[in-house]
Amino acid sequence: MKAEVLQNLDNPRQLEKLYRDNRATFKREFNSVYPSIQENPVAQIWNERLNYEGDGISWGAGREVVFVLLAASIAGVIAKLPEIFGLQPDYFYPRNIAFIVFPLLTIYFAWKQKLPATSVAIITLIIVASVIYINLLPRNDRSDTLILACIHLPLLLWAVLGFAYVGNAPMSTNRRLDFLRYNGDLVVMTTIILLAGGLMSAITIGLFSLIGLRIENFYMSYIGAWGAAAAPIVGTYLVQTNPHLVNKVSPIIAKIFTPLVLVMLVIYLGAVVYTGKDPYNNRDFLLIFNILLIGVMALIAFSVAESSKSATRKFENYLLLGLSIVTILVNGVALSAIVFRISEWGITPNRLAVLGGNVLILFNLLVVAYHLFRTAKDPKEITSVENSIVSFLPMYGLWAALVVFVFPLAFHFR
């Protein structure tokens, strides 16, 4: 696209078409060539259009504000359903906590993207089927398949959210990368909102206690719970209407934590060998290994999405390659441990779920590492890295659906 931008500086119609066809790539390529064409008036106009950041905060259109307020209120109501209808919290929340936020965010993006009726019908069917199915599963606190379904349900709903986010371009690499960036920005914004809300709550409760009124229980039960449920929805709205609020913070976080996590993993693997810890016979240690693996995989995906916006990314790519290689080693240890446990004690729902997840992550890491290695010779290969990340996203959603819907039936709800 870089060549097309340069060739069409005197063709506003074609430039506009290029921009609308692929906005993220257009902006990235334009910014990379702008220093050489900054004397061109057309280039100056496009530079301001693409990179202008206002000083104020935009609150969007009035109907969007109404929609977000309504969605935040509904999220609070869903969170309080056990109290409203006398449901048992230990039954309701493990099965339904993901429904507090994900369906509302999905509706928001389906509305924003003006999805066709077919896509809306698919989304509705998946969400409704998930609500009915997860709540009809037999109650058995010792059921591994029930626990696995509750753990994987948020991942399935996250995949449905991604389907709504990418809109009418489900196969677009750039739209999927934008979705990953949105997730990173949302984590930052939601954390800020929750920290600010927690500080305000502490001050409020403290002020009322000074005059002899103990409002802790009432405040946390209603205002606190409602605010926590609404935070991701409000955070999404702020990220979408004011991308400049966090789009500088997220890349910095990715750049800081990528080398730190790489160093930590190397030291940790050395410490594992030194202490003689055995993931093959220690179930809790294997669980920590897998949680670590998922977290690092998420960091790699987010870092690739952020580094793809940078024109000077060679050093970042080397760091990501190192992190990928070390994570493959961690994955190899975890995978060999679960294979050992299956060979020794047989297949259980937990072992099969961990095995499938590890194999999927391993293949993803191997493809990502291969393409990151190729970027050392040709920086343009970063596009292949991006493709290798986003092409696996639907597979994670399909695996989650398999665990949620098939595992309980296949293992007779045990």
Residue 251 clears pLDDT 50, i.e. is over it: yes
Higher pLDDT, 165 or 295: 165
pLDDT at 13: 82
To the nearest whole percent, how much of the chain has pLDDT over 90?
39
State pLDDT tens for residues 102-159: 999 999 999 988 899 999 999 999 999 999 999 999 988 788 999 999 999 999 999 9
Average pLDDT over the chain reads 86
- What amino acid occupies position 149? A
The answer to whether 127 and 386 are in contact (CB under 8 A) is no
Higher pLDDT, 409 or 3: 409
Query: Domain residues of the chain, as ranges?
Result: 2-51, 62-243, 248-410
Residue 370 clears pLDDT 50, i.e. is over it: yes
Spatial separation of the C-alpha atoms in residues 65 and 46, rounded to whole Å: 30
What is the full DSSP assignment across 308-337?
Answer: TT-S--HHHHHHHHHHHHHHHHHHHHHHHH
Nearest to 170 by CA among 371, 414, 393, 367: 393
State pLDDT tens for residues 63-112: 888 999 999 999 999 999 998 898 899 999 999 999 999 999 999 999 98
Q: What is the mean pLDDT of residues 173-198?
A: 90
Higher pLDDT, 163 or 171: 163
pLDDT at 136: 94
Higher pLDDT, 57 or 237: 237
Sequence length of the chain is: 414
Q: What is the mean pLDDT of residues 283-299?
A: 79
Distance, first Cα to last Cα, the chain:
54
pTM: 0.83
State pLDDT tens for residues 354-364: 999 999 999 99
Beta carbons within 10 angstroms of residue 136's beta carbon: 9
The residue with tokens 């609308």 is 20
To the nearest whole percent, how much of the chain has pLDDT over 70?
94
Residue 311 clears pLDDT 50, i.e. is over it: no
Q: What are phi and psi of 263, to 5 degrees?
A: -65, -45
pLDDT at 277: 73
Residue 378 clears pLDDT 80, i.e. is over it: no
